[in-house]
Amino acid sequence: VQLQASGGGLVQAGGSLRLSCVASGGTFGRYIMGWFRQAPGKEREFVATISRSGGSTNHADSVKGRFTISRDNAKNTVYLQMNSLKPEDTAVYYCAADRNLGMALTTAPDLYDYWGQGTQVTVSS
């Protein structure tokens, strides 16, 4: 499956952005989807993940209450709504797909099989 992320940009602290990730070449509803981010000089870190149906989600503590992951299987798209953005949210954001048949919503990037190209989010203070 190929993943194409978009929606990044430059925003002031306290602002909002919505990232989108469109999947093609596979059966989108079979994949657990996740968002990760990587800031300069830092390791890639988990942001949020969502089950195949969209009924279950998990968010990193650093974004809980501010970010929301969702998906629309009819549109082969996963979203990340980001509100109350902070300068420390600045990073390249990646969407990823986990083809594992299990139910666990993994937070480990190594367990995801497919990755998008990333979209830059910059939050100014």
What confidence tens digit (pLDDT) does each residue in 52-77 have?
999 999 999 999 999 999 999 999 99
Within 13 Å and on the Cβ side, how many CA atoms surround 89?
Answer: 32
Say how far apart CA 110 and CA 101 lie, in whole Å.
16
Mind listing the pLDDT tens digit for each residue in 90-117? 999 999 999 988 888 999 999 999 999 9
Judged against a pLDDT cut of 90, whether residue 81 lies above it is answered with yes
Closest by alpha carbon to 122, among 5, 15, 3? 15
